[in-house]
Amino acid sequence: MPEGHTIHRLAEDYAAAFPAGTPLRVTSPQGKFADAAALLDRTPLHTTDAHGKHLFLGFGDAEPAEWVHIHLGLFGKVTFGPAPAPPPTDTVRLRLADATSYVDLRGPTTCALITDGEKRAVHDRLGPDPLRPDADPALAHRRIGRSRTTIAALLMDQKVIAGVGNVYRAEVLFRHGIDPYRAGRDITPAEWDAIWADLVALMREGVRNNRIDTVRPEHTPEAMGRPPRVDDHGGEVYVYRRAHLPCHICGGEIRTADLAARNLFWCPECQRR
Ligand SMILES: [Zn+2]
């Protein structure tokens, strides 16, 4: 499942592909979004927004009157290309196109036309997102600070904090030496402030580079004289998908376990706090 940085990057890329004011061709070759697409057809994309793993495309002339709410889920994919768009396959849920480019959305969990009020309701049920300027980290800490649940599970709970997925949760806990099984209520405000600030920096870099890198400069392959990581996702990490490999810092074995329905990775030696 894509993490929040991917969705914020998509919001930027959709906005960059279609300058405000240009009426778009909006279609649903697959048919599942056909009625809504017909309503939006020949309307400009006014603005884009992201909160956690939710993407919003606002259509309208002077202000976004209607929003397309997209959640990619596990299988959703977005492809960008130059005009002319190729004939669409019947897997394309939503195609936006103008004279210079097109964007296809396939296989999302959600692709729905919603009102401003419905959009607000989505924001209201999500926790603060480190990539949003309006995010309030104290709100997340209030929920974490009264919970007996492990910090590793809380970081994956989108109602507590939005946009963090399996890679960022494992990596940020490693970077702060925090045992993933510690209860949320044992995380001090100072620790939470440090985790939050780190997520803001790491996830912003993720948006910029469109991939997740979490190792500090002294732990890059070049600095350590080690081979770079080989993985579909790219990016240099400390523990994610490194089960049974030696820790970059202590040399101990990275461990893995199931936590909150996803594989957790951590170094028991470096994460004792
Ligand atoms: Zn270690």
214: closest CA among 173, 181, 246?
173
Is residue 255 within 8 Å of 267, Cβ to Cβ? yes
155: closest CA among 126, 184, 121, 122?
184
Which residues are known to be catalytic? 2-3, 53, 262
What does the pLDDT read at residue 232?
A: 75
For 222-229, the CB contacts below 8 A with 24+ separation are: 224/248
- H or E stretch covering 45: strand 45-51
How far away, in angstroms, is 250 Cα from ligand 1 center? 4
What does the pLDDT read at residue 20?
A: 81
Tell me the two tokens of residue 54.
Answer: 């939710």
Per-residue pLDDT of the chain (273 residues; tens, 9 = 90+): 789 999 999 999 999 999 888 999 999 999 999 999 999 999 999 999 999 999 999 999 888 889 999 999 999 999 999 999 999 999 999 999 999 999 999 999 999 999 999 999 999 999 999 999 999 999 999 999 999 999 999 999 999 999 999 999 999 999 999 999 999 999 999 999 999 999 999 999 999 999 999 999 999 999 999 999 987 777 999 999 999 999 999 999 999 999 878 899 999 999 997
What does the pLDDT read at residue 1?
A: 79
Q: Kindly report, residue by residue over 119-151, the tens digit of the pLDDT.
A: 999 999 999 999 999 999 999 999 999 999 999
212: closest CA among 203, 220, 224, 200?
203
What does the pLDDT read at residue 185?
A: 98
DSSP string, 140-179: HHHHHHT--SBHHHHTT-TTTSSS--HHHHHHHHHHTT--
Is residue 55 within 8 Å of 93, Cβ to Cβ? no
How far away, in angstroms, is 171 Cα from ligand 1 center? 12
Tell me the two tokens of residue 257.
Answer: 């376990």
How far away, in angstroms, is 169 Cα from ligand 1 center? 16
How far away, in angstroms, is 204 Cα from ligand 1 center? 26
- Reported pTM: 0.94
How far away, in angstroms, is 239 Cα from ligand 1 center? 9
- Backbone φ and ψ of 25, nearest 5°: -85, 120
Is residue 236 within 8 Å of 215, Cβ to Cβ? yes
**Whole-number Å distance between alpha carbons of 41 and 113:** 13
How far away, in angstroms, is 143 Cα from ligand 1 center? 29
How far away, in angstroms, is 257 Cα from ligand 1 center? 16
Tell me the two tokens of residue 198.
Answer: 């780190």
**Whole-number Å distance between alpha carbons of 260 and 157:** 9
DSSP string, 176-212: TT--TTSBGGGS-HHHHHHHHHHHHHHHHHHHHHTS-
